[in-house]
Amino acid sequence: MSHPTTLAQAIDRYLTFLQAEQNKSPLTIRSYRQSLDLLLKLSQIESPLLFSKQTIRIYKTALHSFRARNGRELSIRTKNHHLTILRAFLRYLIQEEEMDVLPPDRIQRFKEEQRKVKVLFADDLALLLSSPNTNTREGKRDKAILELFFSTGMRLAELRSINRTELNFKTQEISVRGKRGKVRVVFLSDAACAALQEYLESRLDHLAPLFIAHLQQATFEMPPGEQFRISANMIYRIVKRYASQAGILSNPSPHTLRHSFATDLLRNGADLRSVQELLGHKDLSTTQIYTHVTNPQLKEVHKKFHGK
């Protein structure tokens, strides 16, 4: 096959392939674009044919030196994310464009420490969930957001994308489209149902998004009202604000509520594969990060045999 061989052009073709042939989500495309733009910036090569052990070493060194907007070094996990995307890009060039480029398995990821899982203890969780002032419409919305996070273990992007019509209060279920476009069913607790119903009853608009910003301004807008959908950044700030307001020192994020959901299930006897399905994890190994904090048998062994 004959192709233009500049790296930038090859990246553009790859992103088109991901969208047209693999139906990747806009969020995934954007993530790949940002990563491959960083590759263009740091690798200092003009053609994918120039990838070699030496140029990959230069790119890895540049990743170590690179600083994010906040001035911080990239985490090992983030560096590995960029290397994983580079490997996928090279695999595409070999399989789809039949280019003679560096085999992706020649690129070794950095060794990662086991991830630490931050979860909320029951007392802190109760404080967080009770923090919003439900005498206001904003407070009702924020209460519903917090309850929905803990009830379902949804990712932030998943929660943000829900529309009102996707709620089923009769079965207490929501169908969620997660990573890689995979659809799964998540379940609403009684507390989440109550908070959502109270919030929706306070809404004066007919817009499609479940969670919106500028509730007052939205009142007379015509559907679908996508411009009023709450931003990911705003949801993140909502969780942070109520955690601070509740005096929770561990500084939880929306993902902390996802972790808390998973650990709560496992501590109460749920099996790992069921939790994997509920979280929408592709691999069981991803779910296994929770087992070391939720193994009641280890606690019993310690209690029975230690310090006698």
Q: Which residues are catalytic?
A: 155, 179, 255, 258, 281, 290
Q: How far is CA 24 from its chain centroid?
A: 15
Helix ranges, the chain (H): 7-20, 26-43, 53-65, 76-95, 122-129, 137-152, 156-160, 190-202, 232-245, 254-267, 272-279, 284-287, 291-294, 296-305
Whole-angstrom distance, CA of residue 196 vs CA of residue 119:
24
Whole-angstrom distance, CA of residue 154 vs CA of residue 260:
11
Whole-angstrom distance, CA of residue 48 vs CA of residue 8:
9
User: With contact defined as beta carbons under 8 Å apart, do 169 and 197 qualify?
Assistant: yes
Instruction: Specify the amino acid at residue 40.
Output: L
Whole-angstrom distance, CA of residue 127 vs CA of residue 141:
17
Whole-angstrom distance, CA of residue 39 vs CA of residue 60:
10
Whole-angstrom CA distances from 284 to 1, 152, 177, 292 are 39, 18, 19, 14
Whole-angstrom distance, CA of residue 130 vs CA of residue 145:
12
Whole-angstrom distance, CA of residue 108 vs CA of residue 60:
10
